[in-house]
Structure 1
Amino acid sequence: MKAKVLLSLMLVCGCLAAPPARANDAAPAAEPAVPAACELPSYLLTSESRLPKVAEAIKAGKPLEILVIGSRSTTIPSSESSSYPARMEMILKEKLPPSEAVHVSVEIQSKRTAEEAATTFVKLMEAKAPTLVIWQTGTVDAIRSIDPEDFRSAVTDGVTALQNAGADVVLMNLQYSPRTETMISAPPYLDNLRVVAQEHDVPLFDRFAIMRQWNDQGQFDLFSPSRGPELAKQVHDCLGRALAQFVIDAAHLEPAQQQN
């Protein structure tokens, strides 16, 4: 019963659990202003790991196919064009050359642990053949109190399968929710995701730290039980902006490969 209540709470938070955009000091002057609510310290959106296959695809003028694997928190019911994958696609199209085709698709793995999701990756990659996979994971494992070492092993297997299939990978960690942080133990899963990212040299999008920053700074009220669709759209917009810039930065694109 506790697990069902927690999962319900986390999925509700998921509509708002969308993270950030970049800090002012990281934004080129020629770009449109980032909404104030989306602003973040640049260190929260920096990765030393690269996305070489994304860079190669853009350099060769090949379509950039991005697959987001996640839960229901990747969507906004009845407003898919406002969800963070759709927003990321739009921002990437704006930032990359007009000739660059960008397509973002979503694979919902609702209520699946990392191990359960990873078992689907071989067939999924054969069907989708993406250049980049953004894997959002950890929430269900934390709710179900999956052994952290088992979680780490499952994420390792999943990342290996995705890389062996020829894709770049970005890991996205748990959502932060002040309403549930005392009910689940997130640190072991956060730590293990970070370890896997380092071992496999893949970028980690730190959604947990980003959302906590928003909540602590008062940019978004993630505690209030009365969160409407407009707030969901705002945080998804911030997440889409952040992910688009995160991908561009991790691909280490030359200025000529970006829109001025």
Structure 2
Amino acid sequence: MRAGWMSVLFVVAGLSATAVARADDPPKSCSVAAYLLTSESTLSRVASAVKTGGPLDILVVGSRSSTISGAENDAYPARLQATLREKLTGIVVSVSVELTPRKTAEDVVPGLGKLAQTKKPTLVVWQTGTVDAIRSVDVDRFHDAIDQGVTALQNAGADVVLMNMQYSPRTETMISPTSYIDNMRVVAQQHDVPLFDRFAIMNQWNETGEFDLFSPVRGVDQAKRVHDCLGRALSTFIINTAHIDTAKLGTRRQ
């Protein structure tokens, strides 16, 4: 049964099997509740990089849900890069991706510190939790792994944003994500790092009808729209948590 869950979840991960695409679909507004786009924690290194004129290097570490097969330029990391470049006038922004497919947080942790030391990103967005939930990893071990990973990234000199799993109504009855989501929130609070609540954002889109995340009909076009909205939401989250005034930034660089 668990192997079956893995197959379902990794089809869902690409978002190509969870959304309906039609030529007459109206453009999506990407509306997100304001409280999901900010944090009490601050991205101080991001703020400093922007204040001094950049560059701003962002590394996304995560599973294949950060990609769209055959359309990498439309996946949320690429859309994040494009949106930040639009918003941060005069700042060189680079977003790269380190894929860790089918690995638990505990599997990923040993290489995180070295990865950050080698690539020297300003910010690491660590997307995790899905595989742990699928495999029913002990939540205490999951908590400890996230704690160790964040510590390693911070010791390597990077800001950190934790990103939890994506929401899918088709898999809600197959896995129990709540304890993993809660533990990520606890670790984020303990380390004073922001948590980008992708699960809640996508749940909101599904509830409001912004996107249909239940239908099994394939729709790459709609997958691209979901990723575009995620990239835009994440860009706003990063700017808000770094307390960057984009209006003043644009004026300063004219």
Normalising by structure 2, we get a TM-score of 0.91
Q: Residue 132 of structure 2 corresponds to which residue in structure 1?
A: 141
Q: Residue 131 of structure 1 corresponds to which residue in structure 2?
A: 122
Alignment of 1:86 with 2:85, yes or no, is no
Alignment of 1:43 with 2:39, yes or no, is no
1:205, distance to aligned residue in structure 2 (A):
0.5
* Matched letter for residue 153 of structure 2: L
Give the share of equivalent positions with the same residue, in percent.
59
Q: What are the ranges of 5 or more consecutive residues in structure 2 without an aligned counterpart? A: 17-26
Alignment of 1:197 with 2:182, yes or no, is no
1:245, distance to aligned residue in structure 2 (A):
0.8
Alignment of 1:187 with 2:186, yes or no, is no
How far apart, in 2, do the equivalents of 1:203 and 1:248 lie? 12
Residue of 74, 79, 86 corresponding to 2:66: 74
1:51, distance to aligned residue in structure 2 (A):
0.2
Q: Residue 65 of structure 1 corresponds to which residue in structure 2?
A: 57
How far apart, in 2, do the equivalents of 1:259 and 1:223 lie? 44
Query: Are the aligned partners of 1:96 and 1:259 in contact in 2 as well (CA < 8 Å)?
Result: no
* Matched letter for residue 202 of structure 1: V
Runs of 4+ aligned residues of structure 1 deviating over 3 Å after TM superposition are none
How far apart, in 2, do the equivalents of 1:153 and 1:258 lie? 42
Q: Residue 20 of structure 2 corresponds to which residue in structure 1?
A: none
1:60, distance to aligned residue in structure 2 (A):
1.0
Q: Residue 225 of structure 1 corresponds to which residue in structure 2?
A: 216
Q: Residue 96 of structure 2 corresponds to which residue in structure 1?
A: 105
* Matched letter for residue 252 of structure 1: H
Aligned residues: 241
* Matched letter for residue 47 of structure 2: A
How far apart, in 1, do the equivalents of 2:178 and 2:109 lie? 21
**Residues 1:224 and 1:128: Cα distance change in structure 2 (over 3 Å):** same
1:125, distance to aligned residue in structure 2 (A):
1.2
DSSP 3-state at the match of 1:135 = strand
* Matched letter for residue 134 of structure 1: V
1:258, distance to aligned residue in structure 2 (A):
4.8
DSSP 3-state at the match of 1:120 = helix
Q: Residue 241 of structure 2 corresponds to which residue in structure 1?
A: 250
DSSP 3-state at the match of 1:154 = helix
* Matched letter for residue 117 of structure 1: V
1:4, distance to aligned residue in structure 2 (A):
2.0
Residue of 134, 142, 149 corresponding to 1:151: 142
Residue of 183, 203, 210 corresponding to 1:212: 203
How far apart, in 2, do the equivalents of 1:122 and 1:172 lie? 18
How far apart, in 1, do the equivalents of 2:28 and 2:166 lie? 21
Query: Are the aligned partners of 2:15 and 2:68 in contact in 1 as well (CA < 8 Å)?
Result: no
> Per-residue CA shift, 1:3-41, capped at 9, x if unaligned?
222122222222229xxxxxxxxxxxxxxxxx6441121
How far apart, in 2, do the equivalents of 1:190 and 1:233 lie? 25
Q: Residue 8 of structure 1 corresponds to which residue in structure 2?
A: 7
* Matched letter for residue 88 of structure 2: L
**Residues 1:39 and 1:11: Cα distance change in structure 2 (over 3 Å):** same
